[in-house]
Amino acid sequence: MEENVILLDHGSGGKIAHRLTTGLLLPALENPLLAQLNDGAVLEIGNSRLAFSTDTFTVDPIFFPGGDIGELAVNGTVNDLAMCGAKPLYLSLALIMEEGLPLDDLKKIMASIRRAADKAGVQVVTGDTKVVPRAAADKIFINTSGIGVIPEGIDIGGQRATVGDKVIISGTMADHGITVMLQRQEMSFETNIKSDTAALNHMVTRLLAAAPGVHVLRDPTRGGVGTTLNEIAQQAGVGIRIREEALPLDPEVAGVCELLGFDPLYLANEGKLLCLVPAAQAEAALEAICQDPCGRKAAIIGEVVDDHPGRVVLETAIGGRRIIDMLAGEQLPRIC
Amino acid sequence: MEENVILLDHGSGGKIAHRLTTGLLLPALENPLLAQLNDGAVLEIGNSRLAFSTDTFTVDPIFFPGGDIGELAVNGTVNDLAMCGAKPLYLSLALIMEEGLPLDDLKKIMASIRRAADKAGVQVVTGDTKVVPRAAADKIFINTSGIGVIPEGIDIGGQRATVGDKVIISGTMADHGITVMLQRQEMSFETNIKSDTAALNHMVTRLLAAAPGVHVLRDPTRGGVGTTLNEIAQQAGVGIRIREEALPLDPEVAGVCELLGFDPLYLANEGKLLCLVPAAQAEAALEAICQDPCGRKAAIIGEVVDDHPGRVVLETAIGGRRIIDMLAGEQLPRIC
């Protein structure tokens, strides 16, 4: 293994990626706003509290069951803003295209971007286009950055996870990860599995109205639920316990995972959120999420505990316990 | 020529790029904020007027005399915000790295980013990192997006160009374009030419204090001074006349241009601005720009006229006139 170069693992969202972030990137840029490590930065400008976030999408293939790179790029940044408790308002759109990209593909992607933006209620207000020669990029990469406004009284962040909080997931795990994987491996599975890519901001609005005391929101994308819960446990210095039986999983996704030996806890989701909320508001929060079209299979999957700070523990179906570590390396590059 | 695919020309910042933007990208996203086509969008949030801008950098090589891709990425977005009359405050930073990028290169780039951000007085507050397999990207691409605050009373935009305005350039043309070109062609010219990459926000602050009536600010990057002036002429429906003799040019850059047959009017600048200002404030504006370390060679190069609306005309040194069209295609891909 070459130790002095960037590896695919550095992009995994897992342990090695975290080492790059905390060991090289953050120290170079060190400032208190960046160091919070939430899905977006929270900025005070004038009389407003704004959330500001950025995400680049390099997914391969660019079209897949349930969506495409354009829809993913809008929903990804909308969700990062929503996870700060913000109402997403404005997006930027920056394209890097490879010479030779069919214009029809670009048109389809632009139409998806428009549809997704309309659905989320955001506007693309500024943009940039770069073209690089053949083989200097693969088809198209999309960056979106976004601005949202955080309503008064809302204070959400990984560091707020508190012992006693219930952990809610808004639906089934691993749908996006398995969808892309099946496309990439060109396997001839006959399945109905499709990406869960969706904007979650309307769900968050509903959720915060019903349960204004929410402590943490996070969308478990790269690295999956397992890695995201670890991040939260480390940010807040608390333990998190989840129950295997409670984890929602589409039966087809479960089947593919079992067949191929993948752990759905580490696969990417693109339309799911994790919510940590005081126990007293947990039922109200769950009900609000379930009322959203994207939240019908939501479930309470665990709680924050004062045991094993910084660690996530899974209670297995047969009564055992196993530590859920962060994903170490890369399961599949270019998942989003 | 394949007509149904993306061509390098689509990334040039010239005519073909404009056709892509106005024919395909803007119609897909259509909204009034985006359609203004300035360097950034101007947004009203709470009691603040914000500028929001995005830019991706794919420059090849990533290190060049006078700077590197990291410095370019900070200065580029800082300048886009400053050209809206905004005080740049916060940046996002999104990296796409190719597997195999030397960590030492990444460290150097991150150090440049930090230095450039400190110099401009902005903070990088949120980020994203993606890694793609070898040959799916070339070394590193960087997107920065930024937020700035526009002070009260400032109203700057291409559409405000007014007959009688003087046109000022803040220094010599084409330094960045020629620098990258000489690196890329691996020519053994012995020159002292280096990129002009610099943050212009401090210059703009000084300029607006001295000449608050400024109508237009624009940094002539891809496509150069010629293309940028055409954009302004078209946005405002006015003519622009410039004098060849007045155009500042480094003698070495002029020499290389002559030797290789390049027109410096179409080459990229990364630390220069064009300012259109009412004649009564033009001297004050020029003096303020000249006081800035990056503005010592600033000059009044022409004026806005009511002849030939939408067109830029050059008065040549020998007394002739020639229409300066937009750059059509690409002089050199991956210039920024």
* Other Cβ atoms within 10 Å of B230 Cβ, number: 23
Choose, out of A80, A131, A149, A180, the residue to mutate when testing the contact with B (most B CBs < 10 Å).
A131
**Cβ-based contacts of A130 with chain B (< 8 Å):** 11, 56-58, 141
CA pair distance B94, B72, nearest whole angstrom: 14
A17·B129 Cβ contact <8 A: yes
Å from A59 to nearest chain B CA? 9
**Backbone CA torsion sign across A302, A307, A309, A315:** negative
pLDDT at B185: 73
Tokens of A121: 């209620």
* Other Cβ atoms within 10 Å of A261 Cβ, number: 6
Q: What is the mean pLDDT of residues A278-292?
A: 98
Å from A132 to nearest chain B CA? 6
Taking CB atoms and an 8 Å cut-off, how many pairs form between chains A and B?
280
What is the average pLDDT score of chain A? Answer: 94
pLDDT at B3: 73
User: Looking at A34-43, A70-79, A124-133, which range is the least confident one?
Assistant: A34-43
pLDDT digits (tens, 9 = 90+) for B139-188: 999 999 999 999 999 999 999 999 999 999 999 999 999 999 999 877 77
Q: What is the mean pLDDT of residues A96-118?
A: 97
Å from B106 to nearest chain A CA? 9
B248 burial type by CB count under 10 A (0-12 exposed, 13-18 middle, 19+ buried):
middle
CA pair distance B21, B263, nearest whole angstrom: 24
Nearest to B97 among A6, A93, A133 (CB): A6
A149 has pLDDT over 80: yes
**Cβ-based contacts of B136 with chain A (< 8 Å):** 58, 60, 137-138, 334
**Backbone CA torsion sign across B77, B329, B18, B306:** positive
A192 burial type by CB count under 10 A (0-12 exposed, 13-18 middle, 19+ buried):
exposed
Å from A293 to nearest chain B CA? 25
Å from A177 to nearest chain B CA? 16
B37 has pLDDT over 90: no
Nearest chain B Cα to A108, which residue?
B28
A137·B135 Cβ contact <8 A: no
A29·B99 Cβ contact <8 A: no
Å from A6 to nearest chain B CA? 5
Q: What is the mean pLDDT of residues B62-74?
A: 97
Q: pTM score, two decimals?
A: 0.96
**Cβ-based contacts of A143 with chain B (< 8 Å):** 54, 56, 94, 128, 143, 145
Å from B22 to nearest chain A CA? 12
pLDDT at B184: 85
DSSP type of residue B327: P
Kindly list the structural domains of chain A, giving each domain's residue range(s) and its CATH number in brackets, ordered by start: 8-149 (3.30.1330.10), 158-324 (3.90.650.10)
**Percentage of chain B with pLDDT > 90?**
86
DSSP type of residue B137: B
Amino acid occupying residue B120 = A
Which position has the higher pLDDT, A136 or B332?
Answer: A136
Nearest to B20 among A48, A129, A138 (CB): A129
**Cβ-based contacts of B124 with chain A (< 8 Å):** 29, 31, 34
Q: What is the mean pLDDT of residues A44-61?
A: 96
B273 has pLDDT over 80: yes
CA pair distance B115, B73, nearest whole angstrom: 12
**Cβ-based contacts of A128 with chain B (< 8 Å):** 54-56, 143
A113·B2 Cβ contact <8 A: no
A11·B97 Cβ contact <8 A: yes
Token match 């053949």: residue? A134
**Percentage of chain A with pLDDT > 90?**
86
B1 has pLDDT over 50: no
pLDDT digits (tens, 9 = 90+) for B100-152: 999 999 999 999 999 999 999 999 999 999 999 999 999 999 999 999 999 99
pLDDT at A2: 53
Nearest to B131 among A41, A137, A333 (CB): A333
pLDDT digits (tens, 9 = 90+) for B8-23: 999 887 888 889 998 9
A4·B92 Cβ contact <8 A: no
What is the average pLDDT score of chain B? Answer: 94
A6·B106 Cβ contact <8 A: yes
A41·B145 Cβ contact <8 A: no
CA pair distance B284, B295, nearest whole angstrom: 13
pLDDT band with cut points at 50, 70 and 90 for residue A1: very low
Q: What is the mean pLDDT of residues A76-84?
A: 97
CA pair distance A179, A253, nearest whole angstrom: 9
A138·B141 Cβ contact <8 A: no
pLDDT band with cut points at 50, 70 and 90 for residue B2: low
Nearest to A99 among B8, B31, B99 (CB): B8
CA pair distance B11, B5, nearest whole angstrom: 13
